[in-house]
Amino acid sequence: MHKVLIIDDEKDILDSLSSILEDEGFQVSKATDGKEGLSLFEKEKPDIVILDIWMPELDGIQVLKRIKKKRGEAIVIVISGHGTISTAVEAVKMGAYDFLEKPLSIEKVLEVIFRGLGAEDRHMVKTEGFRIESAKGIHKFRQKTIGKSIVVYGVGLHSGAKTGMILLPMPENTGIIFEHIPDGERIPAYIDYVFSVGYASSVKGKNCMVRTIEHLLATIHMYGITNLLVKVSEEIPILDGSAIEICNRIEQAGIIEQQKGIEPLYINEMANIAGLSNGKSFHIEPSECFEIDYTLEHGRPIGIQRYYFKGNKDDFVAEIAPARTFGFLKDFEQLAKMGLGTGGRINNVIILNDEGVINTKLRFKDEFVRHKVLDLIGDIYLLNRPIIGKIVARQTGHLENLALVKELRKRFLN
């Protein structure tokens, strides 16, 4: 019988949560403050600790530090009724297994407990009925997740707010899921949930939205990650304007290949995507791998740039992930009037005027087209599966990328 220790100064939570967990077959100990909780932790040696952040005298962060010092492998689930993404990120960075916001969803509590115990399949939280399907047969790809939790700090490009995100390993068939903090709503990274204003790709649920997801999606696309929970407030951090830091964090966490497979989307016929204007175009055709041939045509100082990418993770990390977001100074002034782009800084966006780059040194002579490829790799992963085929693009942005994703789903997945 697994042991659970609950440390919380709210009696109602102690009583109701312990009753539910006992019904699920756990042996439960309860503490009303941090000092009592640490004493019970030493005595009972629980498998799981559920720890409230806000408590008198010893707060949850102090208790967490002491628990991890005593037993580094302890599985501690932090809970809070007044939490923010900063609180969540701090707790996970200090060793918490996960962070849950009050009022607690018992489904999520049980899911996190069983995931921590390595028994994920006993409790899976459904996200609006969304789950990826296992593939069988010789053409399947293995599903993958990350080896351990990742925490990332930064600011949002369009909100300008300090933010962060927590990436958590998830079991097979979960898919890529965003969870909003503090609301707790879960939103799949899938085309049906997309909401875009054209300057970034975003997903929207019933009550919440998560913005600027394309760099994260591009990275997990190229690493083959199919199951992941991303806890964030409203916007993915822009970091240095590229995806290279996310690559570095994923390398540190490692990749776990899971047992079940996922069926790729095979582009098995040639087609042009209709309805695009202003010189924008998409052409798709069969290929033995994932390929992108992108042409960017712009006035001074960018000119015409073309880049061919063949879907290899190592090439992505070296040649595409470091390419940064760019824009003209006049465009950022317009975005500011719209309440967007306020997180753009000298160190996270390439800013141009009609004469050239005004704030940094380019990492590649053709960094602009490479960044367009980065965005497309991210947007295309809103199908939540690998793609085998060639995409030829010209002048496209997020709106056109999302139109392509819808067309691919209609042609090859329905």
Together in a domain, 252 and 269: no
Cross-strand partners of 196 = 201
Of residues 55 and 340, more confidence is placed in 55
Domain hosting residue 53, numbered range:
3-122
- The amino acid at residue 76 is V
Distance between CA atoms of 36 and 55, rounded to whole angstroms?
12
Together in a domain, 209 and 226: yes
Say how many domains are in the chain: 3
Catalytic site positions:
398
Strand order, beta sheet including 176-180: 150-155, 162-169, 228-232, 176-180, 186-188
pLDDT tens-digit series, residues 7-56: 999 999 999 999 999 999 999 999 999 999 999 999 999 999 999 998 88
Together in a domain, 8 and 90: yes
Encoding tokens for residue 100? 């849950």
> Is pLDDT of 222 > 50?
yes
CATH number of the domain where residue 256 is located: 3.30.230.20
Together in a domain, 86 and 175: no
Domain end call among 261, 289, 308:
261
Is residue 126 very low, low, confident or very high in pLDDT (cuts 50, 70, 90)? low
Together in a domain, 39 and 112: yes
CATH number of the domain where residue 65 is located: 3.40.50.2300
Together in a domain, 272 and 383: yes
Residues 6+ apart with CB under 8 A from 336: 342
Together in a domain, 17 and 107: yes
Is residue 321 very low, low, confident or very high in pLDDT (cuts 50, 70, 90)? very high
> Is pLDDT of 383 > 80?
yes
Of residues 213 and 234, more confidence is placed in 213
Together in a domain, 161 and 88: no
**pLDDT value for 161:** 65
Distance between CA atoms of 186 and 178, rounded to whole angstroms?
6
**Contact yes or no for 137/119 (Cβ under 8 A):** no
